Chains A and B, each alone.
Chain A
């Protein structure tokens, strides 16, 4: 009997708790990341465009325009007036121009993108970048089979 008790040792919970905490932290971090991207926006392909690398200027502001022309930053919808205030605020903070990227849905009309570009140029931001998909990894096949690529 004494031998059996010795074999049935108590379970060491410490490594399990460690792993569970790691999981919780992972969830918290990834959930926040997902919220910052507007998943409704589908980008057009640009297989020949230069790739956006991780060492992009940290001052870069990404403005999203969805298919109906709604403007958002980090998935937070906003009016044109609010966007202007944000841009002016950043301009003052950085004492000059900063990179702007427009992440517009491929179905959006130019007039909606234009309204964002006009706000940018009204405060002196002449250089604008459009975001497009260079290579599909997550959304494989989203644009595949679109026969109207060359129309």
Chain B
């Protein structure tokens, strides 16, 4: 009699059905794989805007670099000399090897693309130049 009872109990409490759970878990897995969109790693490029009295302060600084970002084909000029981005890169490397705290004044023309400013700021970040001010022309 005892044996019979145990058989009945086993029949009433059957094993958990795993198949539908596995199905759903696989669906989830596929969904994640399909929708998983890795995020780009973003960088921040810090600049400062000219304060109202900055012109007076700039006059006091003797060593200062002025870079103009234009909208023409050449695009860049440094202290009045027109140059390409690789040339500018070289000059900034030389500058940074002497003094990383040198103030860099970046002047952008209105129609110039934002891309050019970022390209130059990236060069400054590459050589550790942090004293950057962006003026608009």
Contacts and interface: CB of A to CB of B under 8 A. Distances in A.
B43 A109 contact: no
A132 B20 CA distance: 45
By secondary structure, the B interface counts as mixed
Interface string A92-110: 0000000001001111111
B46 interface: yes
Interface stretch (B9-17, B58-66, B97-105): B9-17
Nearest to A133: B40
A25 interface: no
B119 A44 contact: yes
Interface string A50-69: 11100000000000010000
Contacts of B110: 109-111, 114
Given A11-B20, A117-B136, A111 B44 contact: no
A151 B48 CA distance: 26
Interface of A: 3, 6-7, 9, 11-12, 15-16, 19-20, 22-23, 30, 43-52, 65, 101, 104-114, 117-118, 120-121, 125-139, 149-151
Closest 5 CB pairs of A and B: A49-B43, A6-B11, A9-B14, A134-B43, A111-B110
18 contacts: A6-B10, A6-B11, A11-B20, A12-B16, A20-B24, A44-B115, A44-B118, A46-B118, A50-B43, A65-B114, A109-B110, A114-B108, A114-B110, A130-B121, A132-B45, A132-B122, A133-B41, A137-B39
Interface of B: 10-12, 14-17, 20-21, 24-25, 28, 31, 35, 37-51, 69, 73, 75, 84-86, 108-115, 117-119, 121-123, 125-126, 134, 136
